[in-house]
Amino acid sequence: MKLFFLYGLPGTGKLTIARELAELTGIKLFHNHLTVDLLLSVFEFGSVSFVKLRERIWLSVFEEAAALPAMIFTFNPENSVRQSFIQKTVETIESRDGEVFFVEVVCILRNWNGEWIRRSGGITRSLFRSNYFGSCKRRAFSLLQRCPNRT
């Protein structure tokens, strides 16, 4: 399996880009919110059980999905994620003859106080989406098109 690992800070557009790529290519999307939302229904964010189960779910999905030609995964590298998770992900995929492609999604525009641009639908967002997201989506789509048997 080819795992396209989209990572970046909250609000940078990981899920927006991932959904668009999944729709354009037919590649399955496993996004971070699915696991986090599931666990938040029972555990406090960052608690020992939350962290342990979140990683176990992520890695279990990677193991079981290894027979797929490709998958897109979104990820927010924040402090509650164990340092070993990235290496375990690579080992899980590569041990099943797969490859991991890390794609950083960044927001290059900031407002006056340094917060990430809010998803407001205003002029700034329109310009941002057309220039940045369009260019990023085209590059990522180009990479995904080179993946044989995508679906």
Locate the domains of the chain by residue range.
Answer: 2-145
Residue 136 has pLDDT above 70, yes or no: no
Domain 2-145, architecture per CATH: 3-Layer(aba) Sandwich (3.40)
How confident is the model at residue 13, as a pLDDT? 87
Position 128, amino acid? F
Give the model's confidence band at 129: pLDDT under 50 very low, under 70 low, under 90 confident, else very high. very low
Instruction: Please list the residues that pair with 103 across neighbouring strands.
Output: 6
CB 83 within 8 A of CB 89: no
Residue 98 burial class via C-beta count within 10 angstroms: exposed 0-12, middle 13-18, buried 19 and up: buried
Give the model's confidence band at 112: pLDDT under 50 very low, under 70 low, under 90 confident, else very high. very low
Query: How much is the pTM?
Result: 0.74
Q: pLDDT tens-digit profile of 14-65?
A: 999 999 999 999 999 999 989 999 999 999 999 999 999 999 999 999 999 9
Of the candidates 78, 81, 108, the residue with the CA atom closest to the CA atom of residue 12: 108
List the Cα angle 33/37/43 in 5-degree steps. Answer: 135
